[in-house]
Structure 1
Amino acid sequence: MVTGILAGLGAGAFWGMTFVAPLIVEGFSSVDYTVGRFVACGLFSALLLLLGHAHRAAGGPVPRVPTLRQAGAALGLSVLGYTGYYLLLVLAIADAGAALPVLIIGTIPLWVMVLGKPRAMRWGALVPGLLLTVLGMLLMMQTSGEAAGEAGGGHLWRGILYAVAAMASWTAFGLLNAAWLGRHPEVNSTEWANWLGVAAGVGALLLWALWGSPWDEMTARPGFWGFVTVCAVTGIGSAWVAAVMWNMASRRLSPSLAGQLIVSETVFGLVYTFAWSGQWPVALQWAACVLFVLGILASIKAHR
């Protein structure tokens, strides 16, 4: 359980890097960052798979090759939790502005906690962690300086639908991914992360073809190589390493406890953002982070 908790928090620490990535190199769209991140993840995963086969040729262990059904599962789950999820989020922000979609997405830990509750656990044991997390989210809502529905194309309700679809997509990914890992103990967390990474890289190329900036246009922008560096770091860290850690957490913890740990992404994201900008968080943001941490501790206690 301790290993699973540490792995879940580690995944949150790497996921939080995506909050600060667009601040490091500006001038590139959310779709560009999404594509770059998952293409880097896909290339890194493919490289690891190739090294595994090269190691086999040198007399090492035989690397596992996914069956057609396993490859299909990796492709489907990569759409739910990687490229499809981020595309829906980008579309939601374009239509409804940033504040409201981000708040809707922020309810993912609650849905995973509720839908993934172990049958043997009483609802009363889960309530303290849920309430603390809800209160933390409410405080975060108060600190949002952008009015809901502002910016974008002005299609507020369409944006809300996209945001709800994105929330449902990642919630389904969290639950289905844990279930798949439970049914396939022979596939270790690193192998599964590689298969998901390659599938996400393929999906990212399709996303770039449909929505991304033209290659010539991107390379001509100031800071292009900085953009490539950020995509490589987040693709390997926030996508691949975080996926390995999340797989480890999903194997060792119930979905409800793993779902609670997702809020650590917000906490780490705020810490990175404040460190980069050199600004201290306001009192409500401090209070929200404290509530998130208390919610995690309460959930850990309930699941012991």
Structure 2
Amino acid sequence: MVSRSEAAHHPGVTTGILAGLGAGALWGLSFVAPRMLGGFAALDVTAGRFITYGIVALAMMGWGLRTRALPTGRQALAALGLSVLGFTGYYLLLVLAIRDMGVALPALIIGTIPIWVMVLGKPQGLRWVALLPGLVLTVAGLVLMADLHGGDAAAGQAPAAHFGRGLAFAAGALVSWTLFALLNAAWLRRHPEVRAGDWANWLGVATGLGGLLLWLAVGTPAARLAATPGVGWFVLLSFAIGFGSSWLATLLWNTASQRLSASLCGQLIVSETLFAILYAFLWDAQWPTAAQWAAVVLFTLGIMASIKAHR
């Protein structure tokens, strides 16, 4: 994945790769968490994760207040808007998609984000024909996975009546995070004075605020939520994905982004999809079929081909 010459010029490349893979492993947990919390509303799962993220980020800002900057009003508004695209709004759509059609297909759809970011942000020197192999492989994998959805017990598929609705939710989540990736990168390029760690914490506080407002507006009342069977598991898992899949994963991804080229970072996003599918099959104690393996291979090869073309 990394040539000797590239490693020689980038001594931190191994650290970056490990950090990127770690972020992917943590992000993958967010796909299977709704399956593990089937007795709770999708909105409550979303709010629990991001309120936790906000609390952790706020604590980290307080801990390093003497050495960390505070956002200006415009920076705070930017963080709030981007937090909706990249966190609260995106994850709510994803949770709804998973509830309607299981984990595997939403994970694969979301896994195409690197390609969409690459297509929409294509450098002027890159020819469109160079992107074709990766796009064809990825679409082939998604079509194969979609054909399997009706009998995919491991993915916990819902009845066919809910599949179209779930597909719409997954597509909405894809659009939301793709916009976040493009706008967030553009914002950081315009503000090189903002450190990656500070920006991750500001996004976290904004995300926590958005999650809290969302829950207060349309979430399950606290008394009823507390009386729901399994609430202790809900709190524990909310902390796990709020701390791990949000705050820690964001810091790990920042580390990878600082040490690796954009092409290598894009390739490592594949790990999120693969870990999500792995967790789903482990949770259901079932093994993928040959066709499901083929879909995953096609999907992975498509991402890698697209990254190679971009590089």
Q: TM-score, normalised by structure 2?
A: 0.80
Native 8 Å contact 2:26 2:244 kept in 1: yes
Q: Which has the higher mean CA deviation after the structures are superposed, 10-19 or 190-199?
A: 10-19
1:41 Cα deviation after fit: 0.4
* Residues 90, 15 of structure 1: alpha-carbon distance in 2 compared, 3 angstrom cutoff: closer
User: What is aligned with 2:83?
Assistant: 78
User: What is aligned with 1:10?
Assistant: 22
User: What is aligned with 2:250?
Assistant: 243
One-letter code aligned to 2:247: W
User: What is aligned with 2:220?
Assistant: 213
1:105 Cα deviation after fit: 5.0
Structure 1 stretches of 5 or more lacking a match?
A: 57-61
Count matched residues.
290
Is the counterpart of residue 111 in structure 1 residue 122 in structure 2? no
1:174 Cα deviation after fit: 0.9
* Residues 148, 186 of structure 1: alpha-carbon distance in 2 compared, 3 angstrom cutoff: farther
Is the counterpart of residue 286 in structure 1 residue 293 in structure 2? yes
Native 8 Å contact 2:112 2:138 kept in 1: no
Q: How does 1:70-219 map to 2 (within 5 A)?
A: 70-89=75-94, 97-98=100-101, 102=106, 107-145=112-150, 146=157, 150-151=161-162, 164-219=171-226
User: What is aligned with 2:154?
Assistant: none
C-alpha separation between the residues in 1 aligned to 2:218 and 2:144? 34
Q: Which has the higher mean CA deviation after the structures are superposed, 178-187 or 188-197?
A: 178-187
The root-mean-square deviation of aligned C-alpha atoms, in Å, is 3.0
1:293 Cα deviation after fit: 2.8
Identity %: 58
1:200 Cα deviation after fit: 0.4
1:249 Cα deviation after fit: 5.0
Native 8 Å contact 1:260 1:295 kept in 2: no
C-alpha separation between the residues in 1 aligned to 2:116 and 2:290? 27
Native 8 Å contact 2:57 2:201 kept in 1: yes
C-alpha separation between the residues in 2 aligned to 1:269 and 1:93? 12
C-alpha separation between the residues in 2 aligned to 1:19 and 1:220? 25
C-alpha separation between the residues in 2 aligned to 1:49 and 1:263? 31
1:199 Cα deviation after fit: 0.2
C-alpha separation between the residues in 1 aligned to 2:175 and 2:125? 25
1:86 Cα deviation after fit: 2.9
Tell me the SS of whatever aligns to 2:80. Answer: helix
- Cα deviation per residue 1:63-87 (whole Å; 9 max; x = unaligned)? 1111111111111100111112234
* Residues 296, 111 of structure 1: alpha-carbon distance in 2 compared, 3 angstrom cutoff: closer
* Residues 24, 161 of structure 1: alpha-carbon distance in 2 compared, 3 angstrom cutoff: closer
User: What is aligned with 1:45?
Assistant: 57
C-alpha separation between the residues in 2 aligned to 1:269 and 1:162? 18
Structure 2 stretches of 5 or more lacking a match?
A: 1-9, 151-156
User: What is aligned with 1:269?
Assistant: 276
C-alpha separation between the residues in 2 aligned to 1:63 and 1:91? 37
1:10 Cα deviation after fit: 3.4
* Residues 4, 137 of structure 1: alpha-carbon distance in 2 compared, 3 angstrom cutoff: farther
- Cα deviation per residue 1:208-239 (whole Å; 9 max; x = unaligned)? 01221111111112221111111101011111
Q: How does 1:59-70 map to 2 (within 5 A)?
A: 62-70=67-75
* Residues 281, 19 of structure 1: alpha-carbon distance in 2 compared, 3 angstrom cutoff: same
